[in-house]
Structure 1
Amino acid sequence: MNTRRFTALIAVVAAERVLELMVSNRNLRWSEAHGGKEFGAGHYPVMVALHSALLAGSLLEARRRRPRPVFGWAMAAVVLAAQGLRWWCIRTLGRQWNTRVVVVPGAARVVDGPYRRLPHPNYVAVVAEGAALPLVGGAWITAVVFTLANAALLRTRIRVENEALQGLT
C-alpha cells in the first residue's frame, strides 16, 4: 500500500476513534445518570496516549523509513475485521459500552453476541488492529512497540474490568 493510501487509512481509523469517543461520552452520561461508577480511571490517560501513539507512530514510521509493506493488503483485511468485531461489541453492549470502565448498579452482565464466546472480545479487536494497522504501511517497529505496551496495559485493564464486573450477574 502506498504512502498516500496508508495516510488515508490512518485518517479513516482516526475518524472512527472520534466516533467511538462520541458514543462513549454519550454512554458515559447515561451511565452516570443511572448511578454508574468508574473503575481504574488512572490507566485511562495511558490508554488514550498509547492509542494516539499507534496512529501517529504508524504514519511517521511509514513516511520516514518508507519501508516495504509486507502482507499490506492482508493486514488491511485484519484491520477491517477488527473494526467489524469492535462495532459488534459496541452494538451488543449498547449503553453499557464505554472506553472507560463504568459499571451501572443493577445492570445485567452482557453475555450475547461476541460475549457469548469470549469474555473480552473488544480486546481481541484492539490487539489485532494494533498489530496489523502499522504493518499495512510497513511500520513494523510501531507494531512491535504498540503490541508490547498494549499487552501490559491490557493486563491492568482486564483485571480492573473483571473486578468491577464481579458484582454483576
Structure 2
Amino acid sequence: MIVWLVIGFFVCQRLIEMLVAKRNEKKVKAIGAIEFGASHYPYMVAMHTAFFLSLIVEIKLLHKGPSQYFLVLLLFLMATQIIRYWALCSLGTYWNTKILVVPNAMIVKKGPYRWLKHPNYVVVAIELLFIPLLFDAYVTAILFTCLNAWMMVVRIQTEEKALNQYLLN
C-alpha cells in the first residue's frame, strides 16, 4: 500500500508539472521565447517514465518492501520538495520542463537561484536516487542516477549556452 502511495504522489506531481509547464510554455512563447534542446527533450521524458516503470518492476519482481530507513528517507525527500516548489515559484511563468528562453529577459537570481544555478536539477537527482532507496530498489537507484547524470550534462550545457547567449545578467 505504501509503495503505491509514494509512487502515486511522485507520478501525480510529475503530471501536474507537465500541465503547468504546458501552460507556461504558451505564455512565454507568446512573448517570444525560443526553445533549445528539443532534440534531447523526448529522451528526458522517456527516462523519467522509465524510472517509474523500473521502480515498479524492481519492487514487484524482487518483492521489495519499505526500507528500514523508510521514514528518514521519506522525510528527507519531502524536505527536498520545499526546495522544488521554492525554485518553481521563484521562476514563475519562466519555469518549464523544456528549455525556453525569452531573449533579453533578466536571469532569475532570487529564491534558491541566489545560491544554485540549477536547484530543481539537484532535487531531481536526489529524487532519482532516494525514491528507489525507500524500497531498497538499488538497481533503479543506480541506473537512473547514472542516466540522469548524463542527461544533466547534456541539458545544463544546452541551457547555459542559451542563457548566456540570450539573457541579460
User: Quick check: TM above 0.5?
Assistant: yes
Q: Distance in 1 between matches of 2:128 and 2:13?
A: 14
Q: Distance in 1 between matches of 2:7 and 2:86?
A: 21
- Secondary structure of 1:38's match? strand
CA RMSD of aligned residues (A): 1.1
Match of residue 40 from structure 1: 37
TM-score, length-normalised on structure 2? 0.94
Aligned residue identity for 1:54: F
Structure 2 residue runs of 5 or longer lacking an equivalent are none
Aligned residues: 166
Q: Distance in 1 between matches of 2:69 and 2:134?
A: 7
Q: Does 1:103 align with 2:76?
A: no
Aligned residue identity for 2:14: R
Q: CA deviation at 1:84?
A: 1.9
Match of residue 163 from structure 2: 165
Q: CA deviation at 1:70?
A: 4.6
Q: Give the percent of matched residue pairs that are identical in Structure 1 and Structure 2.
A: 37
Match of residue 126 from structure 1: 124
Query: Is the Cα contact below 8 Å between 1:39 and 1:101 reproduced in 2?
Result: yes
Match of residue 24 from structure 1: 21
Match of residue 149 from structure 2: 151
Query: Which consecutive aligned stretches of 4+ in structure 1 deviate over 4 angstroms post-superposition?
Result: none
- Secondary structure of 1:42's match? coil
TM-score, length-normalised on structure 1? 0.94
Q: Does 1:92 align with 2:60?
A: no
Match of residue 139 from structure 2: 141
Q: Does 1:82 align with 2:80?
A: yes
